[in-house]
Amino acid sequence: MPIRTTMNKKKTLEEIIDLVVHAQDIALEVGIPNILQPGLVKEMIIANILDHDLITSKRGADACDPHDHSIKYEYLTCYEGGTGQLDRMFKSPQDKRDESLRRITRNKAVFLAVFLKAKPLTVKVIYEISPSTMLAEAERQLDRSRNVISHVGFSEKWASDNGKVVYSTERIL
Asked whether 79 and 115 are in contact (CB, 8 A), the reply is yes
**What is the reported pTM?**
0.90
**31 torsion bin: left (phi>0), alpha (psi -120 to 50), beta (else):** left
Choose the weakest-confidence range: 1-5, 97-101, 103-107. 1-5
Q: Find the mean pLDDT for residues 56-74.
A: 93
Residues 67-74, mean pLDDT to the nearest whole number = 97
Share of the chain above pLDDT 70, in %: 94
Distance from C-alpha of 162 to C-alpha of 137, rounded to nearest angstrom: 10
Mean pLDDT, residues 79-95 taken together: 94
Q: Which pLDDT belongs to residue 173?
A: 43
* Nearest-angstrom CA–CA distance, 3 and 133: 50
Per the CB < 8 A criterion, the answer to whether 108 and 73 are in contact is yes
Average pLDDT of the segment spanning 106-127:
97
The SS3 of residue 109 is: strand
Residues 137, 153: Cα–Cα separation, whole Å: 9
125-137: b (≥16 Cβ within 10 Å) or e: bbbbbbbebbbeb
4 pLDDT more than 60: no
**Mean pLDDT value of segment 49-60:** 91
Report the share of the chain in percent with pLDDT over 90.
86
Establish how many alpha carbons lie within 13 A of residue 2's alpha carbon, considering only the half-sphere containing its beta carbon.
Answer: 5
What pLDDT, on a 0 to 100 scale, did the predictor assign at position 171? Answer: 56
The per-residue pLDDT of the chain, averaged, comes to: 92
Quote the DSSP letter at residue 4: P
